[in-house]
Amino acid sequence: LQSTVRHSRGRQSIGLKLIIGGLFVIFILILVMRSTSDPVTSIPVSHDVIAESQRIESHEAPCRGSDSDSDSDSAPSSCTKLPSAVAEALIHYATSNITPQQTPRELSITARVLDARSPCNFLVFGLGYDSLFWATLNYGGRTVFLEEDEDW
């Protein structure tokens, strides 16, 4: 009788271990599937947000070098470069509002490089009043600022 009780307890503990192990495996699979799925598709988006996004895209200026008469399937849906007029306005803004940290000539050199290379990864050493300027000139790219002064 005791061996039968021990034997049934052993089966119960094995069954419990299998259930716990199975739940753990399922949990890990769900976690892996969520982390590898596209985060945009897993977030519910209202129809109002989609309509507003399409309205904004339809009012964007065409990219340089794109043919405005081409069909919408072959044309890019949005520009990845900052328009030249905006870049020039930013240069004027960065050099005229507050005492500039760089001369207009220095700003123009970097602006020309970003115009040729953006969107790109752009590293800026130090924060300043022109930080927004640098992030905006790298329109569509990633701009990282390194600052050692904790007061900024």
Q: For residue 79, is it within any domain?
A: no
Would 75 be classed as within a structural domain?
no
Is residue 44 pLDDT above 80, yes or no? Answer: no
- Whether 69 is covered by a domain: the verdict is no
Cβ contact 127:152 at 8 Å: yes
Structure tokens at 6: 């021990």
Q: Is residue 66 included in any domain, yes or no?
A: no
Q: Which whole number is the average pLDDT over 76-84?
A: 65
With contact defined as beta carbons under 8 Å apart, do 145 and 127 qualify? yes
Indicate if 88 and 142 belong to the same structural domain: yes
Judged against a pLDDT cut of 80, whether residue 28 lies above it is answered with yes
Residue at 89 is within a domain: yes
Q: State how far the Cα of 48 lies from the Cα of 58, in Å rounded to an integer.
A: 15
Residue 74 lies in a domain: no
What mean pLDDT comes out for the span 113-135?
85
Is 105 a member of any domain? yes
Asked if residues 90 and 139 have their Cβ atoms less than 8 Å apart, the reply is no
Query: What are the distances in angstroms from CA 142 to CA 4, 124, 137?
Result: 68, 11, 11
Integer Cα distance of 34 and 4 in angstroms: 45
Q: Would you mind telling me the total number of residues written for the chain in this entry? A: 152
> Per-residue confidence at 37, pLDDT binned at 50, 70, 90?
low
Per the structure, how many domains does the chain have?
Answer: 2
pLDDT at 78: 60
Tell me what pLDDT residue 81 has. 74
pLDDT at residue 147 above 70? yes
Give the CA dihedral 118, 122, 128, 134, nearest 10 degrees.
Answer: 0
pLDDT at 43 over 60: no
Question: For all residues of the chain together, what is the average pLDDT?
Answer: 69
Lowest mean pLDDT among 33-37, 77-81, 122-126: 77-81
State which residues form the domain around 131: 84-146
Residue 1: what pLDDT?
A: 52
- Residue 45 placed within a domain: no
**Of 144 and 107, which is predicted with more confidence?**
144
Q: What is the pLDDT of residue 95?
A: 73
Instruction: Using pLDDT thresholds of 50, 70 and 90, give the confidence band for residue 65.
Output: very low
